[in-house]
Amino acid sequence: MYSSIICAVDGSELSTKALTHALALAAGTNAKVTAVTITEPSVIVASGAQMMMVDTSSVIDNLDQAKAESARATLTAAEAVARDKGVALATLHISNSTAADGILHAAKEQGADLIVMGSHGRRGLGRLLLGSQASEVLSHSSLPVLIVK
């Protein structure tokens, strides 16, 4: 049925639940599962910035380094879940992208035939409606999308 599944993970409880579903599907179909985590671009916004001369490169570098470390931790946790389920897992970190764009890009690059993701990411856990990134993926994906809530 499915041969390649992309599962979006962000370290939230809901994304772990989505990963568990993706791994269960893979176990039943021998599909390859790739856990993907996305980090957005680092941006500094300051009032009156047009009048300041500040070298922000080191601040941006530090932010990017912190986000890369967080992504590694998220993917390491996903690998532990997969190991517990006895399913092989590939991992992928896409930086400087919105979550939806990164997920869609990963699905295309990996030749996926299914996207699995939580209904909300870390930013939208308290929302009652479908999260904005999940909604974006649903709107723009040509692949089936399994939303886990």
Give pLDDT, residue 49.
54
Asked if residue 7 lies in contact with residue 33, where contact means CB atoms within 8 angstroms, the answer is yes
Asked if residue 22 lies in contact with residue 116, where contact means CB atoms within 8 angstroms, the answer is yes
Architecture of the domain whose range is 4-141? 3-Layer(aba) Sandwich (3.40)
What is the residue type of 147? I
DSSP single-letter state for residue 48: T
Give pLDDT, residue 52.
59
- Report d(CA 109, CA 46) in Å as an integer: 36
DSSP single-letter state for residue 126: T
Q: Report, as ranges of residue numbers, the positions in the chain whose pLDDT lies below 70.
A: 44-55, 121-130
Give pLDDT, residue 50.
59
Sheet with strand 114-118: strands edge to edge: 90-95, 32-39, 4-8, 114-118, 145-148
